[in-house]
Structure 1
Amino acid sequence: MRAYSLTTGAVTSGKVYKQETIRQRSLQDPEGFWMEAQKDIDWIVSPTRALSIPSPSLLHKAQWFPDGKLNVCYNALDRHVSSGRAGQTALIHDSPVTGSVTKFTYAQLLDRVKRAATMLRDNGVGKGDRVLIYMGAVPEAIVAMLACARLGAIHSVVFGGFASAELAKRIEDCRPKVVLASSCGIEGMKVVPYKPLLDGALEMCVHQPGKVVVLQRPQFQASLGSGEETWRDAVDGISDDRVFHGFETVSANDPLYILYTSGTTGMPKGVVRPSGGHAVVLQYTMNSMYACGPGQVYWAASDLGWILGHSYMCYGPLLNGSTSVLYEGKPVGTPDPSSYYRVMAEHRVTTFFTAPTALTILRREDPDAEYRKQYDLSHVKAMFVAGERCPPEIHRWWVRHITGVDDAGKALHLIQTPVSNVVSDNWWQTETGSPLTGLEIGLSDDGAQLPPVKYGSAGMPVQGVDLRVLRIRDEFDEDDVDVIPEEVARGVIGYVVVKLPLPPGVMTTLWNDDDRFFDEYFRRFPGYYDTGDTGVIDTDGYVHILSRADDVLNVAAHRISTSSIEEVVVENNEIAECCVVARAHPIKGSVPVVMAVCKHQDHGEQVKEDIVEAIRNRVGAFTSLYKENIVFVDRLPKTRSGKVLRKMIRSMISALLVSKTSKLANIPTPATIEDDSVKEEIWAALSDWITGLEKRDIIT
């Protein structure tokens, strides 16, 4: 077992905070706790019980509010319109890349959603049908999501940066009846045509949607084919007398959406979100965790194609009667590092959410935060980061320039009274749909009643989450079931898991693949949900998430399957085989490293350039693969069964980059290795590669 060294500074003195008291109640009396929480949702048929478990052996198939019926769109819009919020702003689209700010009241947004639902209904979309949305950060994307929810249809939003091949996989898997797309997206000051990518994806697909509707943006007018129509004609052109005003009743455990996340195979995993439990948890966390009440403004600086966009750009704020900011821009370059501060100030944001990567970029571009000084941010109550671990130095920099408090050398940041400008990390996943850990800032206006912020941690476990850390028995054995999982002591690194049953709102299965659902998340540690992360719970109860335990890259909060990159690399005629692993990156968290075996001895730069170009075109530029991170070797280390020993490679890279060690003996040799002499060859190749990077001062 390995101990994790923590700079503890001042400790919390064993104080039990309200957050932990609430969590313990939710674990000891889940029925009572969640039946109380569900009262904030307007049900068509109110649930009579909170939790239903098929059998003790099927804890992972637990259902929440099993006899409840509702409509999520009604809860997000209609009930607020009828209860006095019709004229309140529901959505602000702030787009510095187009030089526009557009606001929609709850009544206006509801009208647009009804029109989009009418169009979908006219094209045969009903309860259980799928609709794929490929639109970017535009209001019509949120309209489309809510229109699907209104009809009981299942939407699948795909991030606009995906190339045709990845988009095609998702189309083939979810088989949408209708595809809604933008003609283009705007990333920074660059226009990215989406429609040609969609055309390329559909050419690869056996399944063809019955209808394609395209939002034509002025920056790029797409060519439309047979059966394709513009959003203006198909949706905006619907006359008032044709608008469908009804909505579909769905069961609490009917799917609200499918959101694809990278897996350890080439096929992405279609996470299925239950309607009722998700609505209850989002409503609860908007207030308890994120301290944003009805009528207040919530801004999550993300993309709708990621889980943050689903949970806290679209559904969470609107369920809560808050105002959501949809930002189409970057932290810098649109036009400068003042963008985030301007949006917070101009729209009187109460709660702000972004990725640590954005803070790293801001610090690089504006180290003294001169742009921040131009704006009054005293109205911002809480700021949250998530997506990857926030480095303590980045966290302290942001706190110093947001609050004026310099915590240099300190482990803790004490929350002041009244609570304002709190900057906290939290941790969750696409699969969970809402936080597993964090600091619940909304539980009190008295800073003394809230746990201090601990730099480097992701807060503490939240309601319904029975978080545990299990011993790593053999870090090179990735397949064996741990029949009797063993918990580690506080301060010891292990696998981060959650004891079953899981709280409401967590995925209920993977689309069309229930077997994979069990194998990926519940097989290895019976009785637990395997988060796929390693971490530690320290002596004060704070959770520190350290790294992924599998082969999924986390590049600037974008999870990417290594196999999706490998599939493209090996298509190069010069490549015999390859493997992809992660290496640490000071800004993006991690970036991919390709280790490849060439068919010929000529390892020219042209091969590397061809691979980089192929990855950009086939997977997407956000993978951040650079030719400097392509390493040619004579052979790859493998087990006797032919499995590449990626963990050994990752251990070597980490040792050379982080520990700066030159001792190969410190790297364990897996018992299953086919030929242990290859270990020395790989070490030598990686040593030469890293020496070359350091000589050229390359961090890519």
Structure 2
Amino acid sequence: MTETIENLSRETRVFPPPADFAATANVDGSEWARAARDPLAFWERQADRLDWAERWHTAHTWSPARPTGGTDAAGELELSIPSAEWFVGGTLNVAVNCVDRHVVAGRGDRVAINFEGELGDREVITYADLQRRVAQAANALTALGIVEGDRVVVYLPVIPESIVITLAIARLGAIHSLVFGGFSAEALRFRVEDTGAKLLVTSDGQFRRGKAVAVKSQADAAVAGNSTLEHVLVVRRTGEATPGIPWTEGRDVWWHDAVGSAADVHEPQFFDSETPLFIIYTSGTTGTPKGVVHTSGGYLTQASWSHWAIFDAQDNDVYWCTADLAWVTAHTYVLYGPFSNGATSVLYEGTPNTPHTGRHFEIIERYGVTTYYTAPTLIRTFMTWFPDGLPATWDRSSIRLLGTVGESINPAAWIWFRENVGRGDAPIVDTWWQSETGAAIVAPLPGVTHLKPGSATLALPGLAVRIVDEEGVQVPFGSGGYIVIDGTWPAMARTIWRNPERYRDSYWKKYASRGYFFAGDGAKYDDDGYIWLLGRIDDVINVSGHRLSTIEIESALVSHPMVGEAGVVGVADATTGQAIAAFVIPSTAMADDPAAAREFEAALRAHVTHEIGAIAKPRDIVIVPDLPKTRSGKIMRRLLGDIVDGRELGDTTSLQDDSVPRLIAEIVRDRR
């Protein structure tokens, strides 16, 4: 029996690209046909957008996972480890492509970074400034013994030093691993130990919601007893606001001493295209986090082209991706994509409601942001903060393009985003991709694609995506299943750090006979062949044999005017096997009245029944003030299921606020 995911909802609204946008767009509709005629030649053309010290001799090699003739420990057919290379024999320097070449081309005076700190401090950094700072940091790293292949863990807030040190690590051919500055000492320890890092870069403290919070003590706890770590490089960010910073002489080094005194000229080396660039750890929603490894030439090629194409990067743009720098979105669409294209970017340190809920729109007005790329969870939060729509307080007239990433965006949030932030005409680039893919895979081309609210639309040129059933057979239009990538692509992860078997088993084993990359997400086609993402396959709920997507049920809930956000999970049920539990954040404050709560819950059940059918009606509706989310904005639905079913909570180290599960657990206990 082949299993598919039921297609519950329909969206009929279609928005063509504005004529003036389409007339000047970087990419037109012929790009798909050109790429399809010769995909390798297509990617070679994109690689030629970069500066190479030595051009490659072979565009691509690929050894898929094939039967070896033996069996594994479980008695299953053993498969070889897959291996990919792109632009074989080519050499380049990633940092030179992101900084130096723009200065050499006479664009050194162009603003690279408009930085705004949470407390309101500001800094404008040109490409010439960035070149000098990266050179200083590279010289300082060399003095600390960092060479090609060494691993450096970066545990910093969203500040310019984070970008400078990351580019400096890349400049030396070393490998960086960025860790969210709000992670616990335990989460940091795992990453430092797993990478075998030689250097940790951290800060004395950081600003969170207007307060200075000490960080160095957490960093020290994470590296206590570590035998591979040689130095801790410390940025002075909070200063006297966090006194008494612990210090280990001989190991700890101040940034302003090591980097501030270094020479601001650095002669770069050039490295093989397959030189590892970074290790990024998955959020750890299930099992031990995986250290996904990306290399240099192929990754930068696709990061650069995709930023230029899907964000229609123009010389006069001011681009803002709101992702934390430790998230893969920031690697590709804050760091390497925009800087390789010479973009002017906004970098904001703080939270979107510090000191007020309009901080993002204030920043958009101040810098004249033209392209704003953020997470659907934040958009839905804006909807709860501004239930009557955004006031005219902040000028958003500079916005010409919007983007979303992280989770599927439900149609109601898509429309709100377009009408309120995009003034009713800005295209929305809804992107689907993962840490493992390295760059966007499914996304609109904003000057070409007709948009449907909630759909990531189609695979980008040069890429092949299918939605298949359990056996790997493509499902018909109007049906759902598993989304897979057919074949390879330049930005693909090459392995899992120190665990190539896990790389094979996680992504290539399930459909090895067909050569598909298994992404682990559910998706559906609509009747026109547009792709709609349905979340992780672990989030599919089986109610009396009906396989339902959490995303569609959440979208139905959020389309109710009294719902700001919703998280839906499957929970144990003696009758149906699984039942639907919905955790709902109201769009406006509700009185503490049990009768009103029951009336609200009944209205939501009726609304879901009307929108997508009685089979999707939640058994439980729990009103909550917040949902457990990773820093990247993903709802950790697994934790919600654990709470309802009374299981021990698993890994919570990737949560942006680890107090939320405890608060929800108390609410659930009180209901019982």
- TM bracket (short chain): 0.7 to 0.9
Residues 22/212 of structure 1: CA separation in 2 closer, same or farther (3 Å cut): same
Match of 1:430 in 2: 435
Whether the aligned pair in 1 keeps the contact of 2:520 and 2:536 (CA below 8 Å) is: yes
Match of 1:7 in 2: 10
Match of 1:491 in 2: 478
Instruction: Indicate the larger mover: 377-386 or 297-306.
Output: 377-386
Residues 207/530 of structure 1: CA separation in 2 closer, same or farther (3 Å cut): farther
How far is the alpha carbon of 1:293 from its aligned partner? Answer: 2.4
How far is the alpha carbon of 1:690 from its aligned partner? Answer: 9.4
How far is the alpha carbon of 1:229 from its aligned partner? Answer: 1.4
What does 1:78-93 correspond to in 2, within 5 Å?
78-93=100-115
What does 1:639-678 correspond to in 2, within 5 Å?
none
Unaligned runs of 5+ in 1: 406-419, 445-449, 473-481, 557-580, 632-687, 694-700
**TM-score, with structure 1 as normaliser:** 0.74
Q: Residue type matched to 2:485 in 1? A: V
Match of 1:159 in 2: 180
Q: Does 1:692 align with 2:671?
A: yes
Whether the aligned pair in 2 keeps the contact of 1:356 and 1:385 (CA below 8 Å) is: yes
Name which of 381, 385, 405 aligns with 2:400. 381
How far is the alpha carbon of 1:428 from its aligned partner? Answer: 1.0
Whether the aligned pair in 1 keeps the contact of 2:643 and 2:665 (CA below 8 Å) is: yes
Q: Does 1:69 align with 2:48?
A: no
Match of 1:399 in 2: 418
Whether the aligned pair in 2 keeps the contact of 1:112 and 1:143 (CA below 8 Å) is: yes
Q: Does 1:137 align with 2:137?
A: no
How far is the alpha carbon of 1:154 from its aligned partner? Answer: 0.5
What does 1:507-586 correspond to in 2, within 5 Å?
507-526=493-512, 527-550=515-538
Q: Residue type matched to 1:435 in 2? A: A
Q: Distance in 1 between matches of 2:478 and 2:659?
A: 33
Q: Distance in 2 between matches of 1:347 and 1:55?
A: 47
Name which of 242, 247, 251 aligns with 1:224. 247
Whether the aligned pair in 1 keeps the contact of 2:292 and 2:435 (CA below 8 Å) is: yes
Match of 1:169 in 2: 190
Q: Distance in 1 between matches of 2:40 and 2:654?
A: 44
What does 1:276-425 correspond to in 2, within 5 Å?
276-294=297-315, 296-331=317-352, 333-371=353-391, 373-405=392-424, 421-425=426-430
Whether the aligned pair in 2 keeps the contact of 1:304 and 1:313 (CA below 8 Å) is: yes
Q: Distance in 2 between matches of 1:151 and 1:350?
A: 33
Match of 1:634 in 2: none
What does 1:454-469 correspond to in 2, within 5 Å?
454-469=452-467
How far is the alpha carbon of 1:691 from its aligned partner? Answer: 9.8
How far is the alpha carbon of 1:335 from its aligned partner? Answer: 2.1
Whether the aligned pair in 1 keeps the contact of 2:40 and 2:59 (CA below 8 Å) is: yes
How far is the alpha carbon of 1:190 from its aligned partner? Answer: 3.5
Match of 1:576 in 2: none
Whether the aligned pair in 2 keeps the contact of 1:350 and 1:382 (CA below 8 Å) is: yes
Q: Residue type matched to 2:520 in 1? A: G
Match of 1:471 in 2: 469
Secondary structure of the 1:383 match is strand
Secondary structure of the 1:593 match is helix
What does 1:116-135 correspond to in 2, within 5 Å?
116-135=137-156
Whether the aligned pair in 1 keeps the contact of 2:233 and 2:252 (CA below 8 Å) is: yes
How far is the alpha carbon of 1:249 from its aligned partner? Answer: 1.1
Whether the aligned pair in 1 keeps the contact of 2:14 and 2:450 (CA below 8 Å) is: no
Match of 2:207 in 1: 186
Secondary structure of the 1:531 match is strand
Q: Residue type matched to 1:64 in 2? A: W
Secondary structure of the 1:40 match is coil
Q: Does 1:593 align with 2:640?
A: yes
Q: Does 1:627 align with 2:615?
A: no
Unaligned runs of 5+ in 2: 17-21, 67-79, 541-549, 552-579, 586-625, 628-634
Q: Does 1:50 align with 2:59?
A: yes
How far is the alpha carbon of 1:135 from its aligned partner? Answer: 0.5
Whether the aligned pair in 2 keeps the contact of 1:378 and 1:421 (CA below 8 Å) is: no
Whether the aligned pair in 1 keeps the contact of 2:644 and 2:668 (CA below 8 Å) is: no
- Alignment root-mean-square deviation, CA: 3.2
How far is the alpha carbon of 1:382 from its aligned partner? Answer: 0.7
Match of 1:39 in 2: 48
Q: Residue type matched to 2:165 in 1? A: A
Residues 277/470 of structure 1: CA separation in 2 closer, same or farther (3 Å cut): same
**TM-score, with structure 2 as normaliser:** 0.77
Whether the aligned pair in 2 keeps the contact of 1:291 and 1:351 (CA below 8 Å) is: no
* Identity in percent: 31
How far is the alpha carbon of 1:436 from its aligned partner? Answer: 1.1
Q: Distance in 2 between matches of 1:10 and 1:364?
A: 24
Residues 458/584 of structure 1: CA separation in 2 closer, same or farther (3 Å cut): farther
How far is the alpha carbon of 1:59 from its aligned partner? Answer: 9.8
How far is the alpha carbon of 1:403 from its aligned partner? Answer: 4.2
Residues 615/434 of structure 1: CA separation in 2 closer, same or farther (3 Å cut): closer
How far is the alpha carbon of 1:188 from its aligned partner? Answer: 2.0
How far is the alpha carbon of 1:595 from its aligned partner? Answer: 4.0
Residues 122/325 of structure 1: CA separation in 2 closer, same or farther (3 Å cut): same
Whether the aligned pair in 1 keeps the contact of 2:443 and 2:457 (CA below 8 Å) is: yes
Q: Distance in 2 between matches of 1:624 and 1:153?
A: 36
